[in-house]
Amino acid sequence: MPSTIFTPRALLLDMDGTLVNSDAVVERCWHRWAEEYGLDPAEVLRVAHGRQGHTTMAVLLPDRPMEVNLAENRRMLAAEKADTDGVVPVPGAPAFLTALAGLPHALVTSADAPLARVRMAAAGLPLPPVLITAESVGAGKPDPEGFLKGAAALGFAPADCLAFEDSEAGIAAAHAAGVPVIGIGPRAAAHHPTAHATTLESLTITPGPAPTFTVTLI
C-alpha cells in the first residue's frame, strides 16, 4: 500500500479518542444522562463524541433553555474529572507525542482545561505546549474556532497545519477551518477526513526540511 505524506508546519491534536481513550468514562456519564431523559444512549453517544457537553444537550433537547444545559454540563464535567477508571492512551500515542517534542503542536479539545489535564495525566501522556480548551472558545466543535485559535497560537496559517481527530464534529471543524485532517481510529473513517489512520502506530514523524516536517501515513 502506498504511503500518504504530509509536510505541515504545525499539528493540531484532539484529545479524547485521538490521544486518550476515555470512551469508558464518556459512555458511563452519557448513559446516565440519556436514561434520565428517556433517550437512546447509542444516539446520545453518536452526538456527544467530540462536542462540548452543553452543545450535545442543545442538539438532543433543542427546546430546553441553554442555562439549564450549561448547569448540567458543569455537573457532568465534575463527574468526568472524578472518574478516570479505564482512561488509557490510544495505541501509539506515547511514541507519537515523544516524536513531536520540539515541534510546534497544540491540543485542541472540547474538554475544559482541568479535565484535559486529568485525562492526559491518567493516560500518562505529556501535555502539548499550547492548550485550546473549552474555555478558549465561544463556540465548540463542529465550529472551526478551536482549530483557528490553535493555528494562530502556534503562529501558522490553518492550511499550514495538520489536524488529528476521531469524531464527526471534530473532522467537520477541521475542514471548516481549512486544516487538512487525519482521522484516527474506527469512528473517524465514515466522516471524510483528508486521510485515515487505523491507529497512531500507522504514523511516522520525521523532522525537516525546516520549517516543515514530514508526517507519513502507512
Quick one: cell of 73?
Answer: 454540563
Question: Which strands sit side by side in the sheet containing 4-6, from one edge to the other?
Answer: 4-6, 213-217, 203-207
Q: Is residue 23 among the annotated active site residues?
A: no
What gap in Å lies between CA 185 and CA 14, rounded to an integer? 12
What gap in Å lies between CA 215 and CA 110, rounded to an integer? 24
Phi then psi dihedrals of residue 173, to 5 deg = -65, -40
Quick one: cell of 1?
Answer: 500500500
Catalytic residue among 14, 112, 143, 160: 14
Kind and range of the H or E run holding 145: helix 145-154
Q: Is residue 14 among the annotated active site residues?
A: yes
Listed in sequence order, the residues at least 6 apart from 189 whose beta carbon sits closer than 8 Å to its beta carbon are 183, 196
Residues annotated as catalytic are 14, 16
